[in-house]
Amino acid sequence: MSRPKFLANASFFLTATVAFLLSLPALADSHVRIVRLSYIEGGVQVANAGSATYQKAIVNLPVSEGMKLKTADDGRAEIEFEDGSTLHIVPNTEIAFPRLVLRDSGGRASQVEVTKGTAYVNFAGSKNDEFTIQFGRESVALASPAHLRIDMGETNAVAVFKGLVQIQTPGGALELKKNQTLSFDAASDTQPKLAKNIRQESFDEWDEQQNEYHTRYAMKSYDSYSPYAYGTTDLTYYGSFFNYPGYGTLWQPFFAGAGWDPFMDGAWMFSPYGGYGWVSAYPWGWTPYHYGTWVFLPGRGWAWQPGGVWSTWYGQPVVANVPRGYVIPHAPSSGKATLFVNRGTASTFTGDKLIVHNNSAGLGVPRGELGNLTKLSEKAQTHGTISQRVEPRPAMTGRSAMGGPEMGRAEPGSSGRMGTSNRTGSGRGESSSRAPQPAPMPPMGGMGSAGGHGGSPHK
């Protein structure tokens, strides 16, 4: 194991750059950015900015500046940024988001602090974006595409799977290349040690699987229907686009018949910045709940129409052509408690088989593991359910990502406080009548299933 050479000029330049940036007026930055808690498995908790109290995290939670996340012994999570960059954390890991700002130039500055455990960063390297990872007394500044692992323990380490990164240490700046690892003694000021290889760790394969999922299903051109890349991978996997007369291009989730509506499962969550907002329980439930309109199509059911203005906090659903008798959901008018809505039909496990119900709209379906969902959705609409053999995980147990068995229930449009329920099965039975299958996605400026914003696999 060799010792790295410090980059004296780079260190001086970085220090001068940081000093210059700190001298800029604070009013130039907007702090209303949010990123997405895009995946939860097992025990994951979140604390709001300025609070030491942790509560159970839920999928699709908007993460804002100052928030903290931690995982339990069985916990894993993914945080997705606007350009498709991802941050993966594994069991017994704690992170914070001390900085999530939007510059007046349009660039984004993100700072993540890893205080315990292991985190994987897959940075897309979007133009004008800055991404910094703080760990102990060291930090990594990213400006170009990179994929790396940060370990915090008795020995802190950075391993680079892809790209070229610069690490700022108390002794100066260091450069780390692909397939290199830099280790630091957390208890002393000894010089860091450089290894020209990467020691494999137990969660490397899981991180690789998540990156492959994003690479496989990410759109080539998301800007034709969304201002941002995050959330688009899940739209590709869990549903399809089609053209409908009078509305143009729409999207509809698989496993969604005439008896389903987009507000069957989720939660009204309170934010000190925006009041109550809707957080969807569906694994694809990000982009369609911050942008565009939900439209009801007679004979086909609910579909999402892109367009309009991006909403950072989805306080009031935007719907059109509402069917008779449907009550449009409204945010609670008072209080701060999280109010869960649990009216739909979740997928469930029976032994090692996943039972997927029609009108579940993908709730409880593990991402990327069932392959092409088009044919499975057709079978579910014909027979009411399908059965698929998969490896069980904590994130696949129905509504566990949205609160588990203690989750409450409310009827459509309810804004009152809900009681609790121990129901964790398939939920209230829904109609299994067959609805027309969404047509394949039409060409839209190069959209497809290749390419993407995630990084390449480790190997």
Q: What is the pLDDT along the chain (459 residues), one digit of tens a residue?
A: 555 554 444 444 444 444 444 444 444 677 778 999 999 999 999 998 888 899 999 999 999 999 999 999 999 999 999 999 999 999 999 999 999 998 887 789 999 999 999 999 999 988 888 999 999 989 999 989 999 999 998 889 999 999 999 999 888 899 999 999 999 887 777 788 999 999 999 999 999 999 999 999 987 677 788 999 999 999 999 999 999 999 999 999 999 988 899 999 999 998 877 889 999 999 999 999 999 999 999 989 999 999 999 998 888 889 999 999 999 999 999 999 999 999 988 888 887 889 998 999 999 999 998 888 999 999 988 888 889 888 765 544 345 555 433 333 343 343 333 333 322 333 323 333 333 333 333 322 222 222 233 333 343
Among the listed residues 391, 399, 273, the one whose alpha carbon sits nearest the alpha carbon of residue 342: 399
Query: Does one domain contain both 140 and 228?
Result: no
Could you say which of 212, 231, 253 is where a domain stops?
212
Query: Does one domain contain both 396 and 335?
Result: yes
Supply 67's token pair: 């928030």
Among the listed residues 302, 258, 248, the one whose alpha carbon sits nearest the alpha carbon of residue 280: 302
Could you say which of 150, 178, 212 is where a domain stops?
212
Beta bridge partners of 70: 45, 94
Query: Does one domain contain both 119 and 178?
Result: yes
pLDDT confidence of residue 393: 58
Query: Does one domain contain both 178 and 290?
Result: no
Query: Does one domain contain both 226 and 173?
Result: no
Q: Tokens 């945010």 map to which residue?
A: 331
Question: 411 in a domain, yes or no?
Answer: no
Phi/psi of residue 19, nearest 5 degrees: -60, -40
Please state the domain count of the chain.
Answer: 2
pLDDT confidence of residue 144: 92
SS3 content of the chain, % helix, strand, coil (to 5): 15, 35, 50
Question: 433 in a domain, yes or no?
Answer: no
Using an 8 Å Cβ cutoff, are 83 and 102 in contact? no
Query: Does one domain contain both 305 and 271?
Result: yes
pLDDT confidence of residue 40: 96
What are the distances in angstroms from CA 391 to CA 20, 352, 353, 396?
51, 6, 8, 9
Domain range for 96 is: 8-212
pLDDT confidence of residue 73: 96
Most distant CA atoms of the chain, gap in Å: 72
Alpha helices in 398-442 (DSSP H): none
Query: Does one domain contain both 281 and 397?
Result: yes
pLDDT confidence of residue 127: 82
Could you say which of 212, 244, 263 is where a domain stops?
212
Query: Does one domain contain both 34 and 85?
Result: yes
